[in-house]
Amino acid sequence: MDETTYSDPRVIALITSRFIPVRVDNDTRPDINARYNMGGWPTTAFLDEDGEVLAGLTYIPPDRMLELLNRVNEAWHTRRDEVRARVADVRRRREEREQAPPEAGALDAAIVERIRTAVDAAYDAAHGGFGDAPKFPHADALRLLVRAGIRDGDAQALARARFTFQQMAGGGTYDHVEGGFFRYSTTSDWSVPHFEKMSEDHGGLLLALAELALASPEDRAAALAIVEPTLAYLDRTLAAPDGGFYGSQDADEAYFALDAGARAQRDRPYVDPRVYASWTAGLARAHLVCGVSFDRSDWIERGTRAVDFVWSRMRAGAAGIYRYYDGTPHLLGLLGDQSAMALALLDAYEVTGDPVHLDRARQLARLIDERWRAPGGACFDVARDHEQTGLLGVRTQPLADNAEVAEAFMRIARLTHDEYYFRVADETLRTFATTYEHYGLLAAAYALAVDRLVEAEPEITVIGTADPDIAPRTRALHAAALRLPLLPRTVQRLEPGRDDVTIAQLDLPRDREAVAYVCVGQVCSAPVGYAGDLWQAVAEARSAPAY
């Protein structure tokens, strides 16, 4: 529209004389996008002085824009009372819906099965992936399939996830010269992409690949062949010097059609130099989990640096995490930045064993509970003190962000054995138990969280000091626990002296070192001293009768 509509002198003159134009960047203001998007980007919305919507469309060519500008202007000046009455009716109906939210429902495994059915129904057997063109990756749906394959032995689910990655990475949706996934495919066979590369998308896809790698040595090798050039691209092109990751690289179709030699003669497409908290947190998780799955300490170190960057540069104490950073941080109050960072901190804790990450995750969880969550229910997308201009005063409860919140609280509960976190996770997920089916395939993140709440998952606790004679065996047990083909699972490394309170809460002996304990539900194993015995201990704990 910049090249066509907004460059047309007639449009420029009419907007300048009759309207107040406001340009909004979706990446920096997802809260505005969530309320004013008219079905796609770009969105053109016409608002009254209170921020209520009068009209709106997506792409508008010049002649159509002239017609629409004149119609809106005429209606505002000749039928303003009628327009205000219609807007007031829309506001009234919206307020009625807000005052009668859906009732919370029960949580059980049937929810996961129904969402899995929606995922299967959307699966494209010919080309992999879900739905028709335009085709998006849907990383959460892929993770749901991988989990079913690894934990439940569902060979079809695993084959579908495997085939989708083969098609995506083997086709036009992957950059075979520089690495990295393009935004989406404009065709159902992944052949013609929209060439933008988003840091937002890579976090979930890399997480799914790292989990797929746990399925078998063959899957590990195939996943590594995709992960390695993808992380190389991210660290070469989207890595910020201080530890974060830049937002995206522009969709330059002509550039990405070139081979390596021809690209070397041209400037690379523009990179958005802002660091977005939730996207950097997602890539931090990707580096950490890929580092575990593929035994790459450099990836673990890079993920830890990204977590530390967000915490040190993009945090405002009791106000939580900022949205983006361009030398200084901007925009507080968005739930998605808090939930994504909480999960990144928890991954950093599980992988490194450094308790500072768990302490920070608990700090963030308390803030989410205080500033975003409705009493006894789910979280709103913006904090209580967020700005109230126009529809920003209408708070929503996004399913995906709340699924992340619930997962974070569940993980903290299993790590600290504080039942309050379980209760918050339960209340959060129950809020959507009567409405999740409306989301179809897009409820996959909710299914992952519900599944984690209703199923007993293996919890592996490794205990050992930093003593030079003990530390190597402790590290070996910890690394082996992280690489077990278990989805989901909780892994924790504790140090006597430093973590005595947690060890006492778990009712574990302090005088046994370089040992691991495996618990599933109420059943726990004898101490395991060798990494090779961990899988047998998990199998025995799973099969033992509960008491």
Cα gap 221→350, rounded to integer Å: 24
Cα gap 99→437, rounded to integer Å: 22
Name the maximum alpha-carbon separation found in the chain: 85
Residue tagged 């988003």 (tokens): 198
SS3 per-residue string spanning 409-425: HHHHHHHHCCHHHHHHH
Identify the pLDDT of residue 96: 85
Query: Which helix (H) or strand (E) covers residue 46, if one does?
Result: strand 44-47
pLDDT digits (tens, 9 = 90+) for 354-400: 999 999 999 999 999 999 999 999 999 999 999 998 999 998 999 99
Task: Work out the number of other CB atoms within 10 angstroms of the CB of residue 442.
Answer: 17
Bridge pairing between strands 184-185 and 53-57: unpaired
pLDDT digits (tens, 9 = 90+) for 275-311: 999 999 999 999 999 999 999 999 999 999 999 999 9
CA-angle at 407, arms to 404 and 411, nearest 5°: 140
Identify the pLDDT of residue 546: 61
For 388, the 3-state DSSP assignment is coil
* Domain spans in the chain, listed from the N-terminal domain onward: 5-99, 109-455, 460-543
Does domain 5-99 match CATH 3.40.30.10?
yes
Identify the pLDDT of residue 25: 94
Cα gap 190→169, rounded to integer Å: 9
DSSP lists the bridge partners of residue 53 as 47
Does domain 109-455 match CATH 1.20.950.20?
no
Residue ranges of the chain with per-residue pLDDT less than 50: none
Identify the pLDDT of residue 547: 52
Bridge pairing between strands 458-463 and 490-494: parallel
Identify the pLDDT of residue 514: 92
